[in-house]
Structure 1
């Protein structure tokens, strides 16, 4: 594998054709809907639990089932998209997601809601690797990682903006109205998805002239010496989503346990997401000029170093705590949002959706494990310094895995 050219050696890329820009915007909107749907459920959970008389904590099964659906969708739909065509699989994913989000509004029991959420999770989970591959196809060859990183910003933006909209409307329209709105928004994207093209045809290099569809997508992930890298990327995805969702789930609670008001501690969770958006956006300019593995590994390593530092300084100035939370979000959450860009850079065009799907499905498992492990550690009443020191370990492992790829990849 040849080394990357110097940043100043190439001319600035020409403006993308309108069709390519349109396709990337549609992919961004789908990521936004996925982020909105993820946070929407957490906002309406108290209303549903109250209506059905569910005990505290029982709604966790609904969250887990939604994530499980996303795991199945990311792996199966990602591979199918590389085999049978990305646009048609994306159309099917959005149709499934929107339809079952709408059906969630008709749920009469927790079991019914869990079924609809599992199926809608398959749809949205399958959309993410597909839009990552499509955005890469429509980007300039030397801007693929940066384009995918910026496109994927739709997820946290949708989570924050959608959460605010849901909080404002759920008392007036109820939780069923919220699901109807989410499903309608998803289905409204179908005409836009139908209008995009399968490929942007911006590739000019021989490496990007590979077949549009792979006959055996999963096998090709480990072909031509890509096996170790595939294992390392999957390991990094699992570890970084584990620590990310631990932080997102437990940072507000830990701050509240240490005397911060519930309103201020909830704001800490928002700061983590805001830092993540800022970090991913800043990182997109770095990965536009070089391989993303080294910069993302460094970002995660610095964030991992700050996590235990936060644990030893929970009790103290609120301003200092918020600055640390923002910095951790900038480095850890911001690094996590670059996982699709890593896969787009590492895998050939024919299996990009499969590569993203595998990493995201393994990462989703980490997002389920993280909060559960966090609950066990908090319940064990470990000192906060020790708790966050343990939480930093997965981030260091993720940084080491990606750093090893960055070190070995040029040697090909």
Structure 2
């Protein structure tokens, strides 16, 4: 639509900057909420005498909820709107975090982590779409670097908070902090987050014209006398059926595989690394230090991606970071037992893995038209998370079966190579697509 094209080629307005800033803050809270379980794991496993397999299931319980949220909540944003979906997801996150504080056993805590994960999964995939829609074409790659950094910053803050809190107040204290932060962001989102113009113009909810004009006024743009005509191909789009038909089916499956393999390696590193280092060294505080190093590296990686995206195409950055991170996993495995060296390499690992996430978030929303964007990204993230759920559980079984931690790190370099190959195929297919094919659009 012409109005959207004009907005994306123009400098970003104050409203767009504010919308992106709120989204980054939400990612920060998501990062903290996801990471608290990993930071609490050493203390929690001692308090409840958990074996590696049970701990693996606990660490994966949040991922189960995140997968379900992406699959079943995010597609609703194409029906009820991005803003309403965000608020509903935040309610679930807040409830899950509050209940986690009062968990009486590992089964209860798993259930509450699933509930929080349900909201986080629905929110993150929806945020990806929202940020893409409110970013200008010129700044999208750089914005997604900063946006993804929000997750790593939140996880790092969780580590700084966990370090002094857990020894003094126990593992429940970090869940208290997460609960308070989630409730505060619910209030901020209610007050400051606008609805997506792409959603209003493509789905036409009640009073869509008035809502569009209210947003345009805040952006200091001319208002509309009537809504623009919908593209002809949009009327035929039915949802997930369009994602799994024709050439789009192949692209969709490859996209699911590429994201799933990447995020499986990412969550292995983020959930298990503190525990593995703590066990190897016999020092729980060193595990927290390693977690901080990985997450701090993640922040740096997102900023590096943001800067490089000004000069290079985001898809090329993603392919490069996937292959580099595969190499770093192997190097980390070789240096695992050299604690000081492992912490340095762990930080570098964080740089590469977060750049992978930023690359996927920056490049994939453009594969889908607005009417299917929530469904497309929601299913990509959801299916990817279903794959990643297996990751911490498999690691638990490998450790119980006698695998050494260093060999497991080397193993996880292989999925990243496969992810790079899958995404190269996705972009090859999208380059051959014609813009009128339902659900399949060209991306830069």
Q: 1:377 to 1:102 in 2, by over 3 A?
A: closer
User: 1:35 matched to which residue of 2?
Assistant: 31
Matched, 1:218 2:215: no
State TM-score, norm by structure 1: 0.81
User: 1:99 matched to which residue of 2?
Assistant: 95
Matches within 5 A, 1:163-178: 163-170=159-166, 175-176=171-172, 178=174
User: 1:197 matched to which residue of 2?
Assistant: 194
Q: 1:302 to 1:269 in 2, by over 3 A?
A: same
Q: 1:351 to 1:395 in 2, by over 3 A?
A: same
Matches within 5 A, 1:38-187: 38-45=34-41, 53-57=48-52, 58-170=54-166, 175-176=171-172, 178-187=174-183
User: 2:376 matched to which residue of 1?
Assistant: 355
C-alpha contact (below 8 Å) 1:82/1:213 kept by paired residues: no
User: 2:224 matched to which residue of 1?
Assistant: none
Q: Distance in 2 between matches of 1:116 and 1:381?
A: 31
Structure 1 residue 265 displacement after superposition:
6.2
C-alpha contact (below 8 Å) 1:100/1:120 kept by paired residues: yes
Structure 1 residue 154 displacement after superposition:
1.1
Q: Distance in 1 between matches of 2:61 and 2:255?
A: 25
Structure 1 residue 34 displacement after superposition:
1.0
Q: Distance in 2 between matches of 1:33 and 1:82?
A: 24
User: 2:425 matched to which residue of 1?
Assistant: 404
Which shows bigger deviation, 136-145 or 381-390?
381-390
SS of 1:198 mapped into structure 2: coil
1:224-248: CA deviations, max 9, x gaps?
7332222112111111122223334
Q: Distance in 1 between matches of 2:403 and 2:107?
A: 36
Paired residues, number: 396
1:270-295: CA deviations, max 9, x gaps?
33322232222222334455543232
Q: Distance in 1 between matches of 2:196 and 2:189?
A: 13
SS of 2:93 mapped into structure 1: helix
1:183-207: CA deviations, max 9, x gaps?
232122233322322125799xx9x
Q: Distance in 1 between matches of 2:17 and 2:153?
A: 19
User: 2:252 matched to which residue of 1?
Assistant: 230
Q: Distance in 1 between matches of 2:55 and 2:287?
A: 22
Q: 1:48 to 1:212 in 2, by over 3 A?
A: farther
Structure 1 residue 97 displacement after superposition:
1.6
Q: Distance in 2 between matches of 1:219 and 1:23?
A: 31
Structure 1 residue 27 displacement after superposition:
0.9
Matched, 1:281 2:277: no
Any stretches of 5+ residues in structure 2 without a counterpart?
1-7, 198-215, 222-227, 434-444
SS of 1:226 mapped into structure 2: helix
User: 1:5 matched to which residue of 2?
Assistant: none
Q: 1:47 to 1:214 in 2, by over 3 A?
A: farther
Q: Distance in 2 between matches of 1:383 and 1:47?
A: 22
Q: Distance in 2 between matches of 1:350 and 1:317?
A: 50
Structure 1 residue 23 displacement after superposition:
1.2
Structure 1 residue 116 displacement after superposition:
2.6
SS of 1:280 mapped into structure 2: helix
C-alpha contact (below 8 Å) 1:252/1:265 kept by paired residues: yes
**C-alpha RMSD of the superposition:** 3.6
State TM-score, norm by structure 2: 0.76
Q: Distance in 1 between matches of 2:235 and 2:129?
A: 12
